[in-house]
Structure 1
Amino acid sequence: MKKVIYLYGLTFVLSACQTVYVPQAREVKKKPLTGGVIAMPTNFRTEDRQKADLLMTQNCGSQNVKIADEGEVVIGQTTKLNSSTANRDDTRREEGSLFGIPLVSGAASGTNTEQSSVTTQAKEWQVAYDCDSSKLTKKVKR
């Protein structure tokens, strides 16, 4: 009985550790039975492309799907700002004097601040397609 419970527990733990990939394809623009644009990540997987093909086929119905254009598209930008602040200790000390004027070396206390920013373009892969009314096949043409 303990072995059965142990096996059930082990099976549950192993199945809970697995995750199912959810395809990342979405309709950006859709003209029913005419065409549209599908977006995917730039580093898309086979599952993403399959979902994009399914979305195009669903929109075109019984018509053929003809890929008009596809490629990487800039959709915005991302800026990351880094800043650091450091307190500086007072390192001044009197070294002597010259004609009654004290000679001091070192630096006064204060704060050093550094800032930097990096801006990158946000991109995605877009597929523009048209629904072709010539009924040769119902496959996606590439």
Structure 2
Amino acid sequence: MFVRYQAAQANANGNFPGVFGLVNGLRRRGELTEEQEEFVRVNNTWYDAAYTDPSTVDPTVYDREVNPGARAWFKAEATHLMARLPGYLVLLDAHGVPWERLTSDDPGRILYEDADQVVVVPHPSAAFDRQPT
């Protein structure tokens, strides 16, 4: 089983950014309070140390030409990584950013895999269990 938190609505490019992309977008636009900025700084640093950025292993994994639509999913067993997600979700809620939780046994063609996550290109007929907020 795999789990993904993402935008509930597609962006202008037709993509559904993940929770980290959504929060980092708020951050880049200067929309976070000082307290929220500190939360993101501390927790992004923790995540950077806690698990591998797939693009450091394979620089093409998120290349839009090579792997269009590539997206990361947590493995359900990676509860130590998902334990910090509620703070990010509260932050999205505070800024009115709709998000959803997806689960799937087969989210797509695996491009990258480690103990905690996979990066996939979704199958055209992939089925997800959506849990909107």
TM over 0.5: no
TM-score range, shorter chain: under 0.3
Higher helix share: 2
Q: Normalised by the size of structure 2, how large is the TM-score?
A: 0.25
Q: Normalised by the size of structure 1, how large is the TM-score?
A: 0.24
Larger radius of gyration: 1
Higher strand share: 1
